[in-house]
Amino acid sequence: MTYFILQILPYISVAVLTIGLLYRLGRWASGRIVHNITLTPAPTTQTGAVVDIAAEAILFKSLFKADKTLWTGSWIMHMSLFAILGGHVMGIGLLGLQFYYIGLTSAETSEYLSNLLGTSMGIVVLLGLLYLLYRRMAINEVKMISAPSDYLHLLMLIAIITAGNLMRFVPEWGIHYEPVRDYVAHLLTFSAVTPEMEVMHKPVFVIHLLLVQVLMMYLPFSKLLHIPGMFAHRWIINRPYVEPAPGMPGVTVGGSGHNVSGGHSASGEVQ
């Protein structure tokens, strides 16, 4: 079983995630943007629109204006989750020496900082998730519109994070960066995982990895599609819009009609 989870399932889960996402994105792309449903006030340039979308993606601007409590919980949850994903790349890829490589600290301090960040973010994201779960059960409106899967997504993430945190806090359940790097290298080079490798003997690591792979496989078939969906939808409603030229023909002050004859489109168009 461990062998299946570590050696075979990763290829399956990555394939399902990739093909599933391509299937979903392809479906979206085959739909048209039929009408101009730009939400105003809209920026007048493409750059302005990109800045707007970035502010939404990074700062959750709309949510901040609408619901401060939810914003606090969800922003903290998403940002720490994002930091953790980055931390996995740094920790496993660079063995936690990232701060040393960019010349900020000594090698020991870098590893210490890496561990400290990973541990603290693990706690923060767990708190964020617990808040979201509490909110879903405590606020009547949210409870009314929730389907069973809405709870399951949260519970799944909580389980993954808990397994990860256990590896941080219980040394004998944990695993160092090096063996994991070796394991990932084996996967990437399509070489066989051998029984004596340390990853084969760390049950919590195996559970952690299993849960992550299950999540990867159902991501394209769940509301977790909101990750690409947000960009795809904001691309439709957060667009630049240029107002048509004002001024009426025959009026001597200001508009003498020159603006009018120059207006080629019946409506605003992006320059």
Partner 1 sequence: MPLTETGLKQPVKANEKDLLKINMPVIPDDQKVEVALKHLNELGEKFRSLMLTFESCVKCGACAENCHTYLGTRDPYNIPANRADLLRKVYKRYFTPEGKFFPGLIGAKDLELEDLEKMYSYFYQCNECRRCSLVCPFGLDTCEATMAGRQLLHWLGMVPKLHASVGAAMAKTGNHTGLPKAATVDTCEFLEEDIMDEIGVDIKIPVDKPADILYIPSSADFMLNPNTMTGAAKFFHYLGVNWTISSEIVEAGNFGLLFDQRATLRANCMRVIDEALKLGIKKVVWGECGHGWRAGKMYLPGMLDRPGRIPIVHIHDEVAYYIEKGALKLNPDSITRPVTLHDPCNFGRACNMCDTLRKVMNASVSNFVEMTPNRERNFCCGGGSAILFDDPEMYDLRIKFSAKKAEQVRATGVDKDGEGILCAPCSICKAQLYPMVEEHKLGVEVKGLIDLVGLSLYPVKHD
* In the complex, minimum distance from the CB of residue 19 to partner 1, in angstroms, rounded to a whole number: 12
Residue 30 or 189 with smaller CB distance to partner 1: 30
* CB crowding 157-191: b at 16 or more within 10 Å, else e: bbebbbbbbbbeeeeebebebebbeebeebeeeee
122/20 Cα distance (integer angstroms): 28
* In the complex, minimum distance from the CB of residue 77 to partner 1, in angstroms, rounded to a whole number: 12
Residue 69 or 109 with smaller CB distance to partner 1: 69
Residue 194 or 265 with smaller CB distance to partner 1: 265
Q: Hey, what are 165's tokens?
A: 């945190």
In terms of Cα–Cα distance, which of 222, 215, 206, 237 is closest to 42? 237
Enumerate the H helices of 170-224 as residue ranges. Answer: 177-188, 203-218
Residue 77 or 209 with smaller CB distance to partner 1: 77
* In the complex, minimum distance from the CB of residue 119 to partner 1, in angstroms, rounded to a whole number: 28
96/99 Cα distance (integer angstroms): 8
180 contacts 199 by C-beta, under 8 angstroms = yes
* In the complex, minimum distance from the CB of residue 218 to partner 1, in angstroms, rounded to a whole number: 8
Angle at 213 between CA 208 and CA 216, to 5 degrees: 130
Residue 174 or 255 with smaller CB distance to partner 1: 255
Residue 24 or 88 with smaller CB distance to partner 1: 24
122 contacts 168 by C-beta, under 8 angstroms = yes
Residue 17 or 175 with smaller CB distance to partner 1: 17
* In the complex, minimum distance from the CB of residue 129 to partner 1, in angstroms, rounded to a whole number: 13
* In the complex, minimum distance from the CB of residue 10 to partner 1, in angstroms, rounded to a whole number: 22
179/210 Cα distance (integer angstroms): 17
- Reduce the DSSP state of residue 202 to 3 states and report it: coil
* In the complex, minimum distance from the CB of residue 229 to partner 1, in angstroms, rounded to a whole number: 3
In terms of Cα–Cα distance, which of 56, 47, 14, 25 is closest to 228? 25
